[in-house]
C-alpha cells in the first residue's frame, strides 16, 4: 500500500513523525508496509488475537483489570444522573424546592427539567473539550484532571439552597462527565485483546447500573426524611469516589495504541509486556507492529486526526452510526425507565413503595447486563441489539394501551411490570451493546474523537427528550402518565429501522478488518459474511 504524505491536523508532530520513515533503499522510500519482517510480525500478532474469552482472560488479566478500573468513573455519572431526577419524588426535596400542589409539593416543570438535564448540558460541553485535550495528553492525565475538577464541583451542588444554584452545580458537575464517557469506552476497547473487547466496553453499562442501583438504595434509605440532610447526604456521598480513583489512575498504564500514535514505540512495547501474563505467547514487538500497521493503513485512508476528520468521507458514516446509537438510547424507552420512581409516584403510589420498586427495577437491569456478557459472544452485537429494541417497542406500546384502557390499580401494576421489562431488555441489549458497537465502528486513529461526538449526540438528544418526558409525567404539565409510552414507542420503531440498515456486525473483527470493510463500503448487513484476507491492507 503506498504511503501518502498528509498534513496532520492539530500539529500533532510526534504522531506525524511516526509515519515519516527515514530509511531509504535504492532511492525508494521504505515504510512499515514494505518491511516484510515487520509485516509478518503484524500478521502473526493479529492471528493471535483470535482466541477464546477464557483464554484471553488467563493471558491478559491485567488488561482486563485496568479497563475495569478506568470505567468505574461511569458509576459516578450514573449515580448523579439518577440522583436529581429521583429526588423530585422525595418529600423533603419537594418541600424545600417545590411549591404546594394539593396535599403535597411539586417542583415546577420548567425547573424540574432544567435541573434534571443541567449536568447533561455540561457533559455535552465537556465531551467536546475532551475531544481536543485527550489526543495530546493521553487517557491517564486527561482522566485525572477530570476527577480533580469533579471533586471541586460537588461543593456547589452540596451547598445549593435554591434551584438556580442547584442548576449551576449540576451544570458544572456535568463537565467532567463528558471526559468520563469519551475516555472510558475508548480506553477499554484499546487496552484489551479482541476477545475481551465486547466485555470491556459492556462493563461501562455494568458501572452505569451499579451507580443507579446505589442511587436507588440511598434514596430508599432517605425516602421518609424530613430535613435537608435527606437530600444533602446523597449529594455528599459523591465525594467517596474521586480520591481512590485518582490514586488508581496514577498507576494505570497508558493505552499502547495512543503511544504508537505518538511514535513512542518502546513505551508501547513496555505497556504491552506489562499487560500480558508471563505465559502469553505474544511478542510485544509484534503486537506493536500490528498496531503500527493498522495506524499506517488509517493514515493513508484518513486525513487528519481532529474532530472535523470524524465528519468527512467514510469516517463521517462511521461517526453517524456511533452518534445515532448513543442518541437512540434516549429513543428506546430509557428515559421513562430512568424516571421510574417518579412515574410510580405520579400514578398514586406512596414513597415507600415507589422507591422500593425503583430499587428493584435497577436491580433487574443490572442482572440483565450480566447476562448480556454471555449472550454477546454467542449472538453477536447486531442481532442482540435488534432483538432488544424490538421487544422494548412492543412493551412501550403495551404500557400505553394499558394506560388508555383503564386507570385502575390493576392497570397500574400491569404498566409497572411492562416498564420493568423495558428496563430489563435495555440492560440485556441496547444499553451495553451500544458501548461496544460505538467503540468498534470507530477507527483507532479517531476513536477518542468519535466516542466524544457520539456521546455528545446522546447529551444533545437527552436534553429535549428529557423535557418531553418530564412534561409528559408532571401533574402540573401534560400529566400523560402511562400514555407517555406512546411517544417512545414511535421513536423506538425509528431506531429499529436505522439499526437494521446501517449498523454492521463487528463481532470477531480486528481493527484492520473493520477498517477495510468500511472503506470498501460493504453494506452493514454483509459485514458478518464478507471475507477479508489476512494480508490485505485495503
pLDDT digits (tens, 9 = 90+) for 336-345: 766 666 666 6
Is the pLDDT assigned to residue 321 strictly greater than 90? yes
Q: How many Å apart are CA 524 and CA 91, to the nearest integer?
A: 50
So what's the pLDDT on residue 145? 94
pLDDT digits (tens, 9 = 90+) for 432-455: 899 889 988 888 778 878 888 888
Where does the pLDDT of residue 154 fall: very low under 50, low under 70, confident under 90, or very high at 90 and above? very high
Number of helical (H) and strand (E) elements in the chain, helices listed first: 24, 4
Query: Residues 315-324: what's their mean pLDDT?
Result: 92
So what's the pLDDT on residue 284? 83
Topology of 49-526 in CATH? Answer: Growth Hormone; Chain: A; (1.20.1250)
First to last CA, the chain: 8
Is the pLDDT assigned to residue 89 strictly greater than 60? yes
pLDDT digits (tens, 9 = 90+) for 292-305: 888 887 777 666 55
Q: Which of 306-310, 385-389, 456-460 has the least mean pLDDT?
A: 306-310
The beta strands (E) that lie in 342-398 are given as none
Q: Which of 201-215, 258-272, 319-333, 473-487 has the least mean pLDDT?
A: 473-487
Of residues 204, 197, 196, 194, the one with CA closest to residue 70: 204
Read off the pTM.
0.74
Q: What mean pLDDT value characterizes the chain?
A: 81
Pick the residue with more confidence: 29 or 131? 131
Is the pLDDT assigned to residue 257 strictly greater than 70? yes
Task: Write out 64-120 in H/E/C secondary structure.
Answer: HHHHHHHHCHHHHHHHHHHHHHHHCCCHHHHHHHCEEECCEEECCHHHHHHHHHHHH
So what's the pLDDT on residue 177? 86
So what's the pLDDT on residue 439? 85
So what's the pLDDT on residue 304? 58
Instruction: Give SS3 for 312.
Output: coil
So what's the pLDDT on residue 24? 38
- The DSSP secondary-structure symbol of 24 reads E
So what's the pLDDT on residue 1? 38
Q: Which of 104-108, 302-306, 372-376, 450-454 has the least mean pLDDT?
A: 302-306
Q: What nine digits make up the cell of 140? A: 491517564
Where does the pLDDT of residue 171 fall: very low under 50, low under 70, confident under 90, or very high at 90 and above? very high
Helix (H) or strand (E) holding 395: helix 381-405
Domain layout of the chain by residue ranges = 49-526
Is the pLDDT assigned to residue 27 strictly greater than 60? no
Q: How many Å apart are CA 420 and CA 408, to the nearest integer?
A: 19
Residue reference for cell 451500544: 434
So what's the pLDDT on residue 3? 38
So what's the pLDDT on residue 413? 77
Q: What nine digits make up the cell of 357? A: 420498586
So what's the pLDDT on residue 254? 94
Is the pLDDT assigned to residue 153 strictly greater than 90? yes
Query: Residues 406-432: what's their mean pLDDT?
Result: 82
Amino acid at each position: 500500500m503506498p504511503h501518502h504524505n498528509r498534513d496532520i491536523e492539530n500539529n500533532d508532530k510526534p504522531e506525524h513523525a511516526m509515519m515519516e520513515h527515514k530509511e531509504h533503499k535504492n532511492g525508494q522510500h521504505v515504510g512499515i508496509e514494505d518491511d516484510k519482517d515487520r509485516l509478518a510480525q503484524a500478521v502473526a500478532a493479529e492471528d493471535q488475537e483470535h482466541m477464546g474469552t477464557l483464554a484471553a482472560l488467563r493471558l491478559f488479566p491485567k488488561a482486563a483489570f485496568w479497563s475495569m478500573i478506568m470505567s468505574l468513573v461511569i458509576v459516578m455519572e450514573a449515580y448523579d444522573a439518577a440522583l436529581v431526577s429521583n429526588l423530585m419524588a422525595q418529600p423533603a426535596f419537594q418541600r424545600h424546592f417545590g411549591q404546594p400542589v394539593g396535599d403535597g409539593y411539586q417542583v415546577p416543570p420548567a425547573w424540574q427539567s432544567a435541573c434534571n438535564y443541567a449536568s447533561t448540558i455540561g457533559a455535552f460541553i465537556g465531551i467536546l473539550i475532551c475531544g481536543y485535550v485527550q489526543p495530546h495528553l493521553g487517557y491517564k492525565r486527561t482522566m485525572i484532571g477530570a476527577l480533580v475538577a469533579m471533586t471541586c464541583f460537588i461543593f456547589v451542588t452540596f451547598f445549593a439552597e435554591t434551584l438556580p444554584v442547584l442548576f449551576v452545580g449540576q451544570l458544572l458537575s456535568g463537565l467532567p462527565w463528558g471526559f468520563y464517557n469519551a475516555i472510558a469506552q475508548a480506553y477499554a476497547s484499546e487496552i484489551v485483546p479482541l476477545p475481551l473487547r465486547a466485555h470491556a466496553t459492556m462493563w461501562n453499562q455494568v458501572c452505569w447500573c451499579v451507580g443507579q442501583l446505589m442511587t436507588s438504595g440511598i434514596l430508599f434509605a432517605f425516602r421518609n426524611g424530613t430535613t435537608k440532610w435527606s437530600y444533602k447526604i446523597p449529594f455528599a456521598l459523591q465525594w467517596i469516589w474521586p480520591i481512590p480513583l485518582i490514586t488508581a489512575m496514577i498507576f494505570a498504564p497508558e493505552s499502547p495504541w495512543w503511544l504508537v500514535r505518538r511514535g513512542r514505540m518502546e513505551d508501547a512495547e513496555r505497556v504491552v509486556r506489562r499487560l500480558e501474563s508471563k505465559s502469553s505467547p505474544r511478542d510485544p514487538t509484534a503486537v506493536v507492529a500490528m498496531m503500527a500497521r493498522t495506524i499506517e493503513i488509517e493514515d493513508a485512508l484518513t486525513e487528519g486526526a481532529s474532530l472535523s476528520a470524524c465528519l468527512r468521507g467514510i469516517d463521517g458514516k462511521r461517526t453517524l452510526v456511533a452518534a445515532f446509537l448513543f442518541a437512540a438510547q434516549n429513543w428506546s424507552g430509557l428515559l421513562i425507565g430512568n424516571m421510574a420512581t417518579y412515574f410510580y409516584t405520579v400514578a398514586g403510589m406512596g414513597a415507600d413503595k415507589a422507591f422500593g420498586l425503583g430499587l428493584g427495577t435497577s436491580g433487574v437491569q443490572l442482572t440483565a447486563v450480566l447476562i448480556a456478557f454471555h449472550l454477546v459472544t454467542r449472538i453477536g452485537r447486531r442481532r442482540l441489539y435488534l432483538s432488544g429494541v424490538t421487544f422494548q417497542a412492543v412493551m412501550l406500546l403495551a404500557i400505553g394501551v394499558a394506560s388508555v384502557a383503564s386507570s385502575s390499580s390493576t392497570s397500574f401494576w400491569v404498566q409497572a411490570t411492562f416498564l420493568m421489562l423495558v428496563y430489563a431488555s435495555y440492560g440485556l441489549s441496547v444499553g451495553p451493546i451500544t458501548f461496544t458497537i460505538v467503540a468498534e465502528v470507530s477507527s483507532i486513529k479517531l476513536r477518542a474523537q468519535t466516542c466524544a461526538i457520539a456521546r455528545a449526540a446522546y447529551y444533545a438528544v437527552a436534553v429535549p427528550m428529557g423535557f418531553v418526558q418530564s412534561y409528559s409525567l408532571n401533574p402540573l404539565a401534560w400529566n400523560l402518565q402511562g400514555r407517555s409510552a406512546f411517544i417512545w414507542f414511535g421513536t423506538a420503531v425509528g431506531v429499529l429501522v436505522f439499526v437494521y440498515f446501517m449498523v454492521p456486525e463487528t463481532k470477531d473483527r480486528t481493527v484492520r478488518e473493520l477498517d477495510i470493510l468500511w472503506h470498501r463500503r460493504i453494506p452493514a448487513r454483509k459485514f458478518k459474511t464478507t471475507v477479508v484476507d489476512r494480508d490485505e491492507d485495503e
